[in-house]
Amino acid sequence: MAAKLNHLAKMELNKKNMLDAGRICDRFPRVSGIVIHMTYYQRRPGSVFMERTVNFYPSGYAYFNMRCMAKGCENGGFDLSPVIKGLVGDGKRTGKGFLSCHGAEEGHASVSYRISISYFQGGRSAHNSARPGRRQAARQPVPR
């Protein structure tokens, strides 16, 4: 069926989007880590489906489109990319909010999220902070 093809196309698109999004260390060089805590709700308000915490590191992709956990949900998901872009742009460390799945069937799933962002100190980028440490003086064996 067409829906199946659309789903495959969407998967390909997701992979492309992920690569297009680039690495966190390139997109947000000041960010040293992002933690997203999500509580999933399905259908009935107040019924918690599951909770999930996801950690992002500078070497990871700057792609924050979270999968919808609802069975049979096509093309759904929760895109936190604009939220995170906004928070980093403002230099904020925390943010929270609520999103509904943008899948075809309306109102079947939603998440409330809390985001924590940590930054490198002193405005150094991820690249700069990765400089090699001072070389340890190798202890030479004493010749006898």
Cβ closer to Zn ion: 95 or 103? 103
Give every CB contact of residue 31 below 8 A, 6+ residues apart in sequence.
Answer: 24, 25, 58, 88, 117, 118, 119, 120, 126
Ranked by CB distance to Zn ion, the top (closest) residue is 76
Binding region for Zn ion (CB under 5 A): 68, 70, 73, 76, 101, 103, 109
Structure tokens at 40: 């999933």
Cβ closer to Zn ion: 36 or 69? 69
Structure tokens at 122: 């002193």
We find the least distance from the C-beta atom of residue 31 to Zn ion, in angstroms, to be: 28
SS3 assignment, position 20: helix
Cβ closer to Zn ion: 32 or 42? 42
